[in-house]
């Protein structure tokens, strides 16, 4: 220990010293983890194709350059430049083919014609440059440029055209071997071997692209399902909010009007009506909260009693028949009929000039039916032209989901609403 004071640390102290800022540089692993599964598969497939095509010219010179026993250096250089040109065109074709959805990927005709022309010319130069080498060298000189371009086309071509073109490459290998002086049997074996090799490579890359397309489609389908779920939840919320607030607001309006009239007359009953308005407002607030939570249900007995009270307060004579039968129905049927009662009473209050209303509930033979009849034709829903309001449409959807049905019809000067459900008494 010399007692020498430590050297002061330069840089930003908040960054953790001189090298503290290096922690903010994203690493490759962090960048890779930030990608989703489909994005990772897309990157893997894309760069596998780019690497295979882009590295082929280098592999060509490493594998074939030293194997040539005879041949002009000019032809060898031309062959190498030809493989580079084919690789560039192949990379461009891969970029074009991997750029969009399977049915939207364009395959530029001019670029494709240029690529195949360059590949055929390069293969011809390769045969001339390497004809003095072994039979394998001649076969590879034909296979490499044509195989590169076929792999690039695997991003859009189906398996059958890939196999046909791969077989054509095998035929060209056999012709090149015959031109190089190989016996027919050896040329046939090489044609089959290299043709199968090219087809295998092209089909394997095609399979990778197909898997990528499948993953993309699944991701798209998942997104569509999420959007449908959001739309369905919005529809549920709007329907439930309509069902909850429609009857309660109508009742509040009727009772407020009645309370005002009683106040003007100096009647003590006005206090009771005001108390009912307050109770309805509190109930509405509670039910709206339950709608938001998605755990709201209706009580059929309470809805029937509330319908009788609200209608009578509005000056509509209301009778309820079969109220006791509601307690024998399954909970699902009671909930559904509770909504029907609420919506029917709301429509009577808001859309008719009825003076009497009859509600009948009966269950027999494994079927439950609720009928609401009033003597005032609805002026906005259930009209003679067959139109329905959003409330009746929501009721029809609820009943259809439970295996039931909703019918509305005019009966002279009256209006009849009938809801049916499969509901065997307990």
- DSSP one-letter string for 7-35: PPPPS-GGGTSTTGGGGGSPPHHHHHHTS
Q: What is the reported pLDDT for 133?
A: 64
Q: What is the reported pLDDT for 390?
A: 65
pLDDT at 223 over 50: yes
Residue 303 lies in a domain: yes
pLDDT in tens, 57-84: 887 777 665 555 456 778 888 888 888 8
Q: What is the reported pLDDT for 386?
A: 43
Q: What is the reported pLDDT for 106?
A: 59
Residue 323, domain extent = 298-426
Cβ partners under 8 Å of residue 147, min gap 6: 169, 197, 198, 201, 202
Neighbours of 376 (CB within 10 A): 17
Neighbours of 71 (CB within 10 A): 18
Residue 106 lies in a domain: yes
- The answer to whether residues 311 and 345 touch, using CB atoms and an 8 Å cutoff, is yes
pLDDT in tens, 345-402: 888 887 778 889 999 998 887 788 999 999 877 654 444 344 455 678 878 887 888 8
Could you tell me if 43 and 149 lie in one domain? yes
Q: What is the mean pLDDT of residues 144-165?
A: 89
Residue with more model confidence, 180 or 162: 162
| Arithmetic mean of pLDDT over the chain | 78
DSSP 375: S
Beta-strand pair 317-321/367-374: unpaired
Residue 360 lies in a domain: yes
User: Number of folded domains in the chain?
Assistant: 2
- Final residue belonging to a domain, choices 185, 209, 226: 226
Residue 127 lies in a domain: yes
Residue 426 lies in a domain: yes
- Final residue belonging to a domain, choices 226, 251, 279: 226
Residue 212 lies in a domain: yes
d(CA 355, CA 257): 17
Could you tell me if 403 and 304 lie in one domain? yes
Q: What is the mean pLDDT of residues 163-190?
A: 88
Q: What is the reported pLDDT for 16?
A: 46
Could you tell me if 60 and 163 lie in one domain? yes
Q: What is the reported pLDDT for 3?
A: 47
Residue 419 lies in a domain: yes
> pTM, whole model, 2 decimals?
0.51
193 — alpha (psi -120 to 50), left (phi > 0) or beta? Answer: alpha
d(CA 305, CA 391): 21
- From the centroid of its chain, how far is CA 326? 42
pLDDT at 290 over 60: yes
Q: What is the reported pLDDT for 18?
A: 46
- Final residue belonging to a domain, choices 200, 226, 252: 226
Residue 22 lies in a domain: no
181 — alpha (psi -120 to 50), left (phi > 0) or beta? Answer: left
* CATH number of the domain that residue 383 is part of: 3.30.565.10
Could you tell me if 46 and 176 lie in one domain? yes
């Amino acid at each position: 220990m010399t007692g020498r004071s430590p050297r002061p640390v330069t840089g930003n102290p908040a960054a953790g010293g001189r090298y503290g800022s290096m922690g903010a540089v994203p690493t490759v692993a962090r960048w890779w983890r930030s990608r989703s599964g489909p994005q990772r598969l897309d990157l893997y497939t894309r760069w596998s194709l780019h690497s295979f095509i882009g590295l082929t010219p280098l592999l060509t010179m490493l594998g074939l350059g030293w194997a040539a026993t005879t041949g002009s250096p000019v032809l060898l250089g031309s062959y190498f430049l030809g493989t580079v040109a084919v690789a560039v065109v192949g990379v461009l074709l891969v970029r074009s083919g991997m750029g969009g959805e399977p049915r939207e990927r364009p395959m530029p005709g001019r670029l494709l014609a240029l690529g195949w022309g360059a590949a055929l010319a390069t293969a011809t130069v390769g045969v001339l440059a390497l004809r003095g080498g072994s039979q394998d060298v001649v076969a590879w000189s034909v296979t490499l440029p044509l195989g590169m371009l076929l792999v690039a086309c695997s991003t859009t071509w189906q398996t059958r055209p890939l196999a046909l073109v791969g077989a054509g490459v095998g035929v060209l290998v056999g012709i090149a071997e015959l031109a190089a002086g190989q016996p027919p049997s050896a040329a046939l074996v090489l044609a089959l071997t290299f043709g199968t090799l090219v087809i295998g490579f092209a089909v394997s890359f095609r399979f990778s692209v197909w898997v990528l397309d499948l993953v993309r489609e699944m991701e798209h389908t998942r997104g569509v399902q999420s959007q449908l779920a959001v739309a369905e939840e919005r529809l549920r919320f709007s329907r439930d909010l309509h069902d909850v607030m429609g009857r309660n607001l109508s009742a509040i309006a009727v009772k407020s009007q009645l309370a005002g009239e009683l106040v003007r007359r100096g009647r003590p009953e006005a206090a009771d009506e005001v108390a009912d308005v307050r109770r309805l407002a509190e109930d509405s607030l509670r039910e709206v909260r339950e709608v938001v939570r998605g755990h709201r249900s209706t009580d059929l007995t309470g809805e029937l009693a509330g319908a009788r009270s609200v209608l009578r307060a509005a000056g509509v004579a209301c009778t309820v028949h079969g109220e006791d039968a509601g307690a024998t129905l399954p909970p699902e049927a009671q909930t559904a009929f509770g909504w029907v009662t609420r919506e029917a009473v709301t429509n009577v209050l808001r859309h008719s000039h009825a003076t009497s209303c009859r509600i009948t509930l009966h269950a027999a033979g494994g079927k439950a039916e609720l009928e609401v009849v009033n003597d005032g034709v609805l002026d906005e829903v259930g009209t003679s032209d067959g139109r329905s309001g959003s409330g009746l449409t929501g009721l029809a959807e609820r009943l259809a989901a439970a295996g039931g049905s909703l019918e509305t019809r005019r009966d002279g000067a009256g209006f009849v609403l009938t809801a049916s459900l499969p509901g065997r008494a307990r």
